[in-house]
Amino acid sequence: MKQKSIRRRGVQSPEVLNRGMNTTLIPVSSSNLRAVGYDEWSGTLEVEFRSGGIYQHYNVPDSLFHGLMKASSKGRYYYYHLRNRYGCARIN
């Protein structure tokens, strides 16, 4: 089976991307989000947008990460359940 890849800053990366901090970014099917990762120990949710921005949200319950991953519209779920509700920092 051929592995998909994500192009980031001119470098080919494997489908599942290790970003440090025990966070693994998983590519998602979304017109707005490119990849999502979650660190259960710290409750940090990392979201990469198709526009290029990467954000970390802090103290996010794991139930919201799982809800995001199961949502039929990940962008809508992010907007209504996560955006502006948790401490956040842009990391790129």
Q: What is the pLDDT of residues 17-56, one digit of tens each?
A: 445 566 789 999 999 999 999 999 999 999 999 999 999 9
Amino acid 20: pLDDT: 52
Residue tagged 């996560």 (tokens): 82
Round to whole Å and give the CA distance between 1 and 51: 29
pTM: 0.76
What tokens were used for 61? 């319950």
DSSP 8-state secondary structure symbol assigned to residue 85 = T
CA atoms within 13 A on the CB side of 48: 20
End-to-end CA distance of the chain: 32
Residue 78 confidence class, pLDDT cut points 50, 70, 90:
very high
Residues in the chain: 92
Residue 92 confidence class, pLDDT cut points 50, 70, 90:
confident
